[in-house]
Structure 1
Amino acid sequence: MPRNEPPTTEPATESTDDHEEQTAAVLELDGVTKEFGPEAAVEDLSLSVDEGELLTFLGPSGCGKTTTLRLIAGLTEPTSGTITIAGETVAGDGHFVAPEDRDVGLVFQNFALFPHLDVAENIAFGIDSWAKADREDRVDELLELVGLEDHREKMPSQLSGGQQQRVALARSLAPQPDVLLLDEPFSNLDIRLRVEMREEVRRILKEAGVTAISVTHDQEEALSISDRVAIINDGHLEQVGKPETVFENPESKFVASFLGRASFLTGRVRGDIVETTLDTLSTDQINGPLSAYDGARIDVLVRPDDLEATPIDESMADGHIVHRQYNGPNFVYRVELNDGGVVRCLHNHVKTFEHGQPVAVDIVADHPLAWYPVD
């Protein structure tokens, strides 16, 4: 995987989070398909990743994201399509480069540290052919980068989970790979440490200037660490973009449903308004032009923070509270509407409703709402 040669340049100390400013594609997938018998785990997937970018594959279990990672690493050969890394075709057109000959690093879920080697020896493992002075300089540089200068002689069993992850990351970065792959990198950490390490891993990757691909099914993780997120469903790339773009403007109902607690209000377009089961919305409150859908039914995406419930007399209620989830700072209430639909409302923890309580539900979103045609 990683190349086994000494460094020729210092790693970048600054990089940008703005995808538009990145110009050099380090990784390109063009029409990549992987079939297992009659089933396609990945189908016609095309994507490019820029230098220094952190992109995360996000999707449900079995959607094809891990298979895509294995295709990039060379652990699996595509049925069709091409994969290019740093300008070299590593798969496709009758050509296949073995994993050990690709300039790719891989961080495993379980970190896979060598228990009989200390921290410094683990980091140096992939660069054992380097000159001793170059190898020692590189280890020192990476120990400083991951903040483990005082732990170089410790064994993996003496480290916390977060420290082990830093060692695994440093070891993968040591040979200066063109692309670093992270397979569910936080899944073995407890929740508190997971949040802390997200920020730390992003800092390390950005300071190293490495191009990285991460795989996860954790939406919060993907949205919080990534420059871009690629949503995969059933082997297909549904949408790729900045985290705020895919969350606020999902291009399909699948993406909308997968990211956050999505609910849909059916409405009908009437000129410059949309009549929904709750409120009448002006087209200014809807994301994108609706002129071509005059008279048509659409589904409007609403999330808990877009809605507000208010106690009201039974005769005027839009629905009833059927469940509440306490999250510390807030409650998320599930409301069953009179028409049978279900929505969720987010409220401060000091505002409480009882099970079965009749409520009015208002749309209070301060941003344009995404919508989808009703089939």
Structure 2
Amino acid sequence: MRELLAVDQLQCAYQGQPVLHSVSFSIEQGEIACLLGPSGCGKTTVLRAIAGFIEPESGQIRIDGEVISSAEAVVPPERRGMGMVFQDYALFPHLTIADNIAFGLKGLSRAEKQALVAEVLELVELPDLGKRYPHELSGGQQQRVALARALAPKPRLLLMDEPFSNLDADLRRQLSAEMRRILKRQKIAAIMVTHDQQEAFTISDRLGVLSAGRVQQWGTPEELFYQPATPEVAAFVGKGVLVDGVSLGPDRLNCELGELEFAEPFMVDGESNQPLKLFLRPGDIQLTREGGVEAEVLSCEFQGSQTLYRLQLNSGLVLEACESGMHRYPIGGRLGVHVAPHRPIVFFNA
């Protein structure tokens, strides 16, 4: 596939204060990407720069090889061929759904507009709601209308700013999957900004984690989850804890949880005695009533198919572990902790 969008060494500032620092990434035609990060990390600023609402201090943005933003020249937003889906939907309350969708369609006859509106309403599975008004629709339906309006002009690139943040968790998951299906069917590339890791995993082909205005890592969801480049990326895409340790070889290490050996090596050579940090997620911890490193149960959280336990080792280190089944370990009780990570996540010089 060909490259559609390239963001190259982008730097932006707000009231003289740097917001983005040398941000670079690219997406291909038909690819769906996510910018993932906490509030204030700069992800919405990246989206606004791509849309043309913010001028860069340096660096450039290209679409189909054409420079649309740089310190020297900026193509106006209306000439970029992009669609935008906002967090608050931004629907006109006094217009019908059909008129909301048709509002931005220029240079078409009335019949052509009606046909296009009917097409996108069918696409978002709201074929019979064109004559209704926004207040007559649910939040999920309004979000579909916002998507239909953005898709109607046939954009080269769709930009989405926290599009599901106003919806409940179940509806967010459902619409994330439906949004991906619609975009793939239309072969439209998209970039979505979100702070929700599960949402990003559901919809994206590639995602980037931003922190303090910098891209910490850019890759597939699987790469970021199983091969995070930094402890910050590891913690953001899947909660866990860092445990100090030392290497004993390419596939062995020692830490307060014992001497651990892995099926996959975590370092290239066999050099020993290198200080490291092992990142452990709840699924990497196994609990037992006998054996293992002793820990005290601080709390438990029933989550339906599993229970999440918080445990404290004698050193004071607090871990989390997930256990399936109906049994529940008592608060204040003592258990044995074993480490059984599927793939070791190890950081040196962290």
Q: TM-score, structure 1 length as denominator?
A: 0.89
Q: Which residue of 2 aligns with 1:287?
A: 266
Aligned partner (choices 290, 307, 323) of residue 299 of structure 2 = 323
Deviations 1:301-359 (A, max 9, x none): 1111111111248xx75211112122111111111111221211110141311111111
Residue type at the aligned position of 2:172 = R
Q: Which residue of 2 aligns with 1:242?
A: 220
Give the 3-state SS of the residue equivalent to 1:214 in structure 2. strand
Query: Does the CA contact (< 8 Å) of 2:36 and 2:207 recur in 1?
Result: yes
Q: How does 1:172-211 map to 2 (within 5 A)?
A: 172-211=150-189
Give the 3-state SS of the residue equivalent to 1:48 in structure 2. strand
Unaligned runs of 5+ in 2: none
The answer on 1:353 being equivalent to 2:329 is yes
Q: How does 1:78-93 map to 2 (within 5 A)?
A: 78-92=56-70
Deviations 1:138-195 (A, max 9, x none): 1121111111111111111111111111111010111111111000000111222212
Q: Cα offset for 1:284?
A: 3.3
Q: Which residue of 1 aligns with 2:89?
A: 111
Q: Which residue of 2 aligns with 1:154?
A: 132
Q: Which residue of 1 aligns with 2:256?
A: 277
Q: Which residue of 2 aligns with 1:77?
A: 55
Query: Matches of 1:317 and 1:241 in 2, distance apart?
Result: 36
Q: Which residue of 1 aligns with 2:246?
A: 268
Query: Does the CA contact (< 8 Å) of 2:257 and 2:293 recur in 1?
Result: no
Q: Which residue of 2 aligns with 1:370?
A: 345
More displaced 10-residue stretch of structure 1: 191-200 or 139-148: 191-200
Q: Cα offset for 1:26?
A: 1.2
Q: Which residue of 2 aligns with 1:39?
A: 17
Residue type at the aligned position of 2:318 = V
Aligned partner (choices 340, 350, 373) of residue 316 of structure 2 = 340
Q: Cα offset for 1:196?
A: 1.5
Query: Matches of 1:285 and 1:263 in 2, distance apart?
Result: 20
Residue type at the aligned position of 1:169 = L
Query: Matches of 2:214 and 2:262 in 1, distance apart?
Result: 32
Q: Cα offset for 1:212?
A: 0.4
Unaligned runs of 5+ in 1: 1-22
Matched residues, percent identical? 39
Residue type at the aligned position of 1:83 = I
Give the 3-state SS of the residue equivalent to 2:104 in structure 1. helix
The change in CA–CA distance for 1:60 and 1:290 in structure 2 (over 3 A counts) is farther
The change in CA–CA distance for 1:348 and 1:194 in structure 2 (over 3 A counts) is same
Q: Cα offset for 1:93?
A: 5.0
Residue type at the aligned position of 1:291 = G
More displaced 10-residue stretch of structure 1: 168-177 or 273-282: 273-282
Query: Does the CA contact (< 8 Å) of 1:311 and 1:357 recur in 2?
Result: no
Residue type at the aligned position of 1:57 = L
Residue type at the aligned position of 2:198 = E
Query: Does the CA contact (< 8 Å) of 1:318 and 1:358 recur in 2?
Result: yes
Query: Does the CA contact (< 8 Å) of 2:57 and 2:71 recur in 1?
Result: no
The answer on 1:227 being equivalent to 2:205 is yes
Q: How does 1:295-314 map to 2 (within 5 A)?
A: 295-312=273-290
Residue type at the aligned position of 1:234 = A
Aligned-residue Cα RMSD (Å) equals 1.7
Query: Does the CA contact (< 8 Å) of 1:266 and 1:298 recur in 2?
Result: yes
Query: Matches of 2:148 and 2:279 in 1, distance apart?
Result: 42
Query: Matches of 1:117 and 1:236 in 2, distance apart?
Result: 41
Give the 3-state SS of the residue equivalent to 2:263 in structure 1. helix
Q: Cα offset for 1:374?
A: 4.2
Query: Matches of 1:228 and 1:371 in 2, distance apart?
Result: 23
Query: Matches of 1:127 and 1:215 in 2, distance apart?
Result: 25
The change in CA–CA distance for 1:258 and 1:189 in structure 2 (over 3 A counts) is same
Q: Cα offset for 1:128?
A: 3.8
Query: Does the CA contact (< 8 Å) of 1:322 and 1:335 recur in 2?
Result: yes
Deviations 1:26-58 (A, max 9, x none): 111111001224532111011111111110000
Query: Matches of 1:237 and 1:349 in 2, distance apart?
Result: 39
Deviations 1:58-93 (A, max 9, x none): 001100001101100111111111011222211115
The answer on 1:170 being equivalent to 2:145 is no
